[in-house]
Structure 1
Amino acid sequence: MIAKHVPMRSLGKSDFAGLADYITDTQGKTERLGQVQVTNCAAGTVQAAIDEVLATQHINTRAKGDKTYHLLVSFRTGEKPNADTIKAIEERICAGLGYGEHQRISAVHHDTDNLHIHIAINKIHPVRHTMHEPYYPHRALAELCTIIERDYGLEPDNHESRKRNAEGRAVDMERHAGIESLIGWIKRECLDEIREAQSWAELHQTMRANGLELRERANGLVIETVDGTMVKASTVARDFSKPKLEARLGSFEASSERQAQINVKRQYQKYPVRLRVNTVELYARYKAEQQTLTATRTAALEKTKKRKDEQIEAAKRSSRLRRAAIKILSEGRLTKKLLYAQASKSLRNEIQAINEQYRRERKRFYDEHRRLTWADWLKKESMQGNGEALAALRAREAAQGLKGNTVKGEGQARPGHVPILDNITKKGIIIYRAGMSAIRDDGDKLQVSRETNSEGLQAALRLAMERYGERITVNGTAEFKAQVVWAAVESQLPIIFADPGLERRRQELSTKEKANERTGSISDRGRTDRRGTGRAGPGSTADQHAIRFRGGPNDSRAAGASERSAGIVGKPNIGRPGRVPPPQSQHRLRELSELGVVRIAGGSEVLLPRNVPGHVEQQGTQPDNTLRRGVFGAGVKPEQIVAAEKYIDEREQKRFKIYDIPKHFLYNGQNGTFTYGGTRNVDGHALALLKHGDEVMVLPIDQATTRRLKRIGVGDPVTVNPTGSLRTSKGRSQ
């Protein structure tokens, strides 16, 4: 785990609102934003918390420094702590820096190869209104990370860097931008040759042969290339500082013109870091695009500015004509004054709208024609389907592939169904969308990230089968293997596990599944529940019931044996079907009418009165299903139910990103007293929101009910009858 402070480049860019908006922005990606946490704020939403922090910062008028502290906490590849662990780590780090009582907003990001947390902290104390600046924060963060790694069992990192700032920035440039730095090039190409020089003349000669120049600058020495790239000599190596070189070679001597005529055998150029694939053509395309970016952007901006000037001139011309028409009117002076004021205001508003549109277009042009680093350009090309760029990303030294719970095939990769693309990381890992989960693909293995639910696992197995064939290899924990086997049985995919134990368990479960379907002893798990959410998910009551009786991933009997690594145990004590049906199935015929039936097997049998149910002996009128009242009451159309489900889906999507949105569900016939939460209009259909605890029930209503609900306020009690009608505290049905 690594924690570091991300300073602002200038005090003028210190903006808590901008930082909070950045860290909580999804950027159109499903996998980017995870848990969002607001701490030490009275506000309940992120936007309200931002306003509260800005108000607190505004109180302190004496502090001239940066009032916002941006903290970044990154975990190693493959480490995915749960929400409680992430929250505890955030609290301990902030408390260790002295920000335990300060206002802050944190957001977890999943769109890169390393799970990381962005924390925006207000340096101004919410009570004392004084600004706190941590003392030697890099040392405090290093000590905190070491303790947290030990307490939570995380893989240890090197928290005490032995590199200087310039050397560290060079390493970061090679890792993130993909371009070879001058320091790295010297160390790899000619460092040993330079160290072998025994005099200043020999040292300058070696420098010239490698396209370098050693110059005296201020009180030290610098190494400069032909294109002007410069680096301190002591940054390349400690023994290249001016005092140490003079101690070894004597007083500094500048290079002579005769030494400058030496043939150059190599020289530094800003080329990509050497990869395992040939990127010459790709880099040539990259350089050509970067060279034309400025010219293209300038031409587009000039065209936009010209159009803006023409629109402003047309607005002014129209205003002059309008004022001339007002001038020739025969109305009174006061009337003309009002008309002139309206014309001036109209002109100002029109010019303001034109300038605002021009600013938006300028921002769009700068975003579209922004200069990209080599790695970012490869990522952009990969997103557009360039296979060579994707191979170059995966050939980088930093790319190590997926680890942990993975699924892979033994066959050769082949093209197949491509799910919805969400993002591509700088290590060439593709992130696909799979419902509420996401699938990561490094070209060799697949991994279900974040929520490992049945839907995501089934999508991963389907993708692996299409890519690599029917034989699948599963790596990871026993619990993950159990979930994979369960997903394979549920999806009924024709796959074969390479692990004999997993394959044997899959076959056993498949056989039991078919037998249970034939006998009907297990209830249909795909039946729609009362809330209209469709198939029961892995966390539903029906699913837990099925797992408890049929064996599931959490069965405690799964541990301890290789053959039972899947962790799924079958239903115990299954006997042969008896001749006497269970009580709830007496006097019923399968798939026929449910009228009571009395059967006398033989003449010697006597049907006693106690054996005859009352509804068989004295049958009365039975209500037909087509005449029964639905749970939504009379007059509710299917279009209203569709609108309600659409609204619920929209709120549920946002609930995974914003923590304070309650769970919404469709009206399921539940009656009782609720709290009125207002009405919503979706596609022209009215919906009533009824709060019950931490949940909100959505009930479709008609226009008459909508008008009546306007008479009560949000928060008033509302009673729902079993028929689906509403009754307010005044006792009137709605």
Structure 2
Amino acid sequence: MIAKVPAKRNDGNSSFSTLGKYLVSEKLDKETGEIVRDARDVHVETNCLSVNTAAAEMRAVAEMNGRVNDPVYHAVISWREGEQPNDKQMMDAARQAQAAIGMDGHQFVYAIHRETDNHHVHMMVNRVHPDTHKAVYPDRDFYKLDKCMREVELAQGWQHDRGPYAVVDGKIERTKREAVAPPLPTKARDLEAATGCQSLLSYSQAASPELVAAVDAGDWQALHASLRKHGLEIREAGQGFKIYDIADPSATPVKASDVAPALGGGKLKKRLGEFQKPLRIVLAEKPVRTYNPYREKQQDGRDERREARAAARLALRQQFDTEKRQQLVHHKEQREAEKFALSDLAMRTRAERERIKLQGLPAEDRRARLSVLAMTAAAERERIKRTGVDQREAEKVKGYRSWCGDRATQGNPAAIAQLKGWEYQESRRRRAGEREEEAAAARGAIRAEVLAHDTPAKPLVLDEVAWSVDRRTGDVTYRLRGVDALRDTGRQVSVLQPTDDLSIEAGLRLAAQKFGSTLTLTGSTEFQQRAVRVAVEQGLGVRFADPAIEAYRLQIQQQRDGQRNQKEIGNAKRSEWDHRQIQNRDGRSNGREGR
């Protein structure tokens, strides 16, 4: 596991609203416009009143501290490729990380994203405490978060990533300074990962032990000589210093304090006094090595072979990107076709409804036909949506690693080389993990298997419905699995099997199709609570007219989303379930309702 604090905006003025929208909204492919992350798949947790109002609430609290210019704290916790944490584990890790940086009790929004091979959770936290209005600026949060990651790895059973903290004999210890290079800034680290080139900062950090030793000697000229040996030089920059590449003075320099803390402006002047320029005798020395983003060529041909493999892997990646774009375009076309089919269904349903109303039929016949039309339309809508989901799932864009595995089985040399490279990298990690497991086994340990996500198939509720019409009254009775499940009497839908969740779901879907998304429930308290739970669990998107029932729905929704802090959900009156009020209404019907 790794924790990353993304780079801030250049103006230093981050936005709760902008970040919040990114966390909870869908994600589009920039080239094709295809949705690669559906907003419905984003699991969110917050201790604000709601996700929709979180940004405004955080902004209001932040404004209580006029000295804070940038109250937004954003961090990302990411798991290794192949690890499948569940929602609870990811939210627990986020809460533990927030506490580790000293922001326990601050307003937060956590959002889980799974559109990449590395499942991750975003943390948006308000630096300003909602009660004290004091701002927190975590000191050395990189180290605190890294230590927290080791703690979570131990608690949840994940493999250990490398960082300033390591797990030794089951205990978390700070690694020796010389064993871990100072952390690269986010942009430099991302650039190296994307290009495969070594940054000037990374090159300078490799020489940092020698540079620190020169500082310990207490002589500016010793530091200049050590820097020149590596093709570097130090210059004053404001209150601090910067490191330059001698061979290319126009290249962007790096902060000396990023190379090594001992080279920071205050510390360096305290140790060596005011800055001194290098003497001529120092400038006369030729560098032993110089900075080059690419390694010097070896004479045995290994570099040429390595570059050939790299070129083949690059071509392989480009092929994957091309196929992925084509698949995303196809998915976009499928979604457009699905939208057109739903729009056409809605138009045909409206036209048929008007035609039935204009036929001059007896009230009973008209009511029966409208009920059957609503059920048929709801079933067709469900079928269209389910077909689209099934098609996209069957043609889901694979991750790069899985795609390479398919090509490797076909004998593609570049794919085979790529898989071998990954395996070599992971074998080193496994060996380190095996040593830790051996030490743990000697002490005694309990291990847990990590289960992959298994999304259950959605019940085909409306596809299983049959119906019959009472010609005398016009009531329509719907049968589900051979049993009378629902009865539509025109102004209400009665659930004839009030303890059967599938019957309740079918009734809610039919009522939503007939009456809209806001419904009124009658019946026993047990039935109403069960209906609310079914609506939430199946994601039906309905609301309830009764404030107490709607408050209960919100409470269940928050619980399902993993909400732990319930004291701020709505106001106190809405958050209480008034049993007496509901029981007083048992058996009564008020307009559009289901029983």
Q: Calculate the TM-score normalised by the size of structure 1.
A: 0.38
Larger radius of gyration: 1
Greater fraction helix: 2
Q: Calculate the TM-score normalised by the size of structure 2.
A: 0.45
Give the structure, 1 or 2, with the largest relative contact order (CA under 8 Å, sep 6 or more): 2
